[in-house]
Amino acid sequence: MHNSATFFKRRGLWVAAVVATQVMSATPMLHATVLITVEEVLELAFPDVETTRETVFLTEDQLRIAAEAAELEIEGAMVTRFVARSDGAVVGFAYLDTHRVRTLPETLVVILDSGGRVRRVEVAAFREPLDYKPGDSWYRQFDGEELNRDLALDRNIRPITGATLTARATTDAVRRSLAIHASIEGDEGVQ
């Protein structure tokens, strides 16, 4: 028994060492890389303006309208958004969109002006390897966009070599956010 107990004890330590090595080498892939907080994004987009967080539960009609407008599936009825006001007047909105890129999620903050056009898109958290994240200038091409058929890869949005899945996921997230915003605000049309 002494020999088998020693064998299993040694084998157990060896297995533990192998598992620990694998976990340590995978650690960068296991945690989200937080690039900017939502609060920092809101301060960038709406400096010196009051923002309030809202949780909106879309009705079945709003879900249907948003899905048709975005030409994408809208997975959940609960939407988190921020409304920015200056002297009581709405000056913009921010929508959080968490979605899968390749195998891991990212969270985008899609900032809209009061008219429903994109002001900016910021990546708050990115769990894929950072090699798959486009540079900041790529995200700036969404600035000023509105929901229409040209808000698509190879149309108004240029694809990016080596990050095609990120480009597609980002474009879909912006389309979803614009469509959800339109359905909440009662504007059903896509141009």
Count how many domains the chain has. 2
| Structural domain that includes position 40 | 32-185
Domain membership of residue 190 (yes or no) is no
Domain membership of residue 136 (yes or no) is yes
Domain membership of residue 191 (yes or no) is no
170 vs 14: which has the higher pLDDT: 170
Share of the chain above pLDDT 90, in %: 68
Q: What is the pLDDT of residue 188?
A: 53
Q: Do 101 and 142 reside in the same domain of the chain?
A: yes
Q: Do 1 and 43 reside in the same domain of the chain?
A: no
Q: Do 57 and 74 reside in the same domain of the chain?
A: yes
Q: Do 4 and 73 reside in the same domain of the chain?
A: no
89 vs 162: which has the higher pLDDT: 89
Per-residue pLDDT reduced to its tens digit, 37-74: 999 999 999 999 999 999 999 999 999 999 999 999 99
Q: Do 56 and 142 reside in the same domain of the chain?
A: yes
- The model's pTM is 0.80
Per-residue pLDDT reduced to its tens digit, 98-118: 999 999 999 999 999 999 999
Q: What is the pLDDT of residue 21?
A: 33
Per-residue pLDDT reduced to its tens digit, 70-87: 999 998 899 999 999 999
Q: Decide: 95 and 80 in contact? Cβ < 8 Å.
A: yes
Tokens 């620990």 — which residue? 20
Q: What is the pLDDT of residue 191?
A: 44
Q: Do 26 and 45 reside in the same domain of the chain?
A: no
Q: What is the pLDDT of residue 9?
A: 43
